[in-house]
């Protein structure tokens, strides 16, 4: 990771826009202007601000990861994938727990959108394995999945690859196992990232950005350590300085 330029490092940072409305998010957009990072739009912001906010991000030159975790019957996910592909997002996700047929339907929705709308770029489609807030006890006793969290994550990653998707969202602690099972080209996007000294919050499985990239991950998602900082720009710049 240390051999990367500042721009290359920024391209692999996803800033989580965990805001309740567009106005708050736009303030951050202005503060980070010129830093070529990804913007991750989650459910709260997307439900509040809608597709127009995503279009504004694209107009401003940002790449967008739409984090809405689609999980429904295959035909519904196919339609949702078609819609967000036409919206122009660069990446979006589904839940691997929806199964292979549902994930294949997501890719069908992408291909149909590309076939009928010239000029669209093909988005990266990834699947959620186990949320980084999911502990071993929670997975076993509440969700009802036996075994280790890592075993579940790798199994979901293998199903994701089988379905033709590009990668998975997973804890940085599982990146090495996923790459071993699915190949180096299979992408990993890792939330649960906390710079040294940051509060863990509601995450159960965390690493620093440096540790996550050392594990071989492709992208890291960072939210509150940037967005809740007194100066978000300085916080992001400090993270980048530690990576180059």
By annotation, the residues acting in catalysis are 69
Backbone angles phi, psi at 69, to 5 degrees: 50, 65
Beta strands in 112-162 (DSSP E): 124-128
Q: Residue 56 and residue 61: Cα distance in Å, rounded?
A: 9
Q: Torsion over CA of 96, 223, 89 and 37, rounded to 10 degrees?
A: -130
Helix (H, G, I), strand (E, B) or coil at 205: coil
* DSSP β-ladder status, 13-16 and 124-128: unpaired
Strand partners, 41: 66
Rounded CA-CA distance 92/219 in Å is: 13
> What CA–CA distance (Å, rounded) separates 173 from 130?
12
């Amino acid at each position: 990771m240390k051999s990367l330029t500042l721009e290359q490092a920024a391209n692999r940072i996803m800033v989580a826009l965990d805001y309740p409305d567009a106005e708050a998010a736009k303030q951050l957009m202005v503060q980070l202007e010129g830093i070529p990072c990804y913007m991750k739009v989650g459910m709260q912001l997307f439900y509040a601000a809608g597709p127009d906010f995503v279009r504004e991000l694209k107009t401003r030159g940002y790449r967008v990861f739409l984090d809405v975790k689609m999980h429904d019957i295959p035909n519904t996910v196919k339609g949702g994938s078609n819609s967000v592909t036409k919206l122009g997002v660069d990446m979006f996700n589904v839940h691997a727990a929806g199964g292979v047929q549902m994930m294949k339907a997501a890719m069908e929705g992408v291909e149909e959108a590309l076939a009928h709308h010239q000029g669209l770029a093909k988005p990266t489609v990834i699947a959620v394995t186990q949320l980084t807030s999911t502990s071993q006890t929670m997975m076993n006793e509440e969700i009802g999945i036996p075994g280790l969290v890592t075993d579940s994550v790798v199994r979901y990653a293998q199903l994701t690859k089988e379905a033709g998707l590009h990668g998975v969202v997973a804890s940085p602690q599982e990146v090495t196992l996923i790459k071993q099972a699915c190949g180096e080209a299979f992408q990993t996007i890792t939330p649960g990232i906390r710079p040294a000294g940051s509060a863990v919050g509601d995450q159960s499985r965390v690493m620093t950005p440096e540790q996550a990239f050392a594990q071989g991950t492709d992208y890291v998602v960072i939210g509150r350590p940037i967005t809740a900082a007194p100066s978000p720009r300085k916080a992001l710049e400090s993270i980048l300085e530690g990576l180059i």
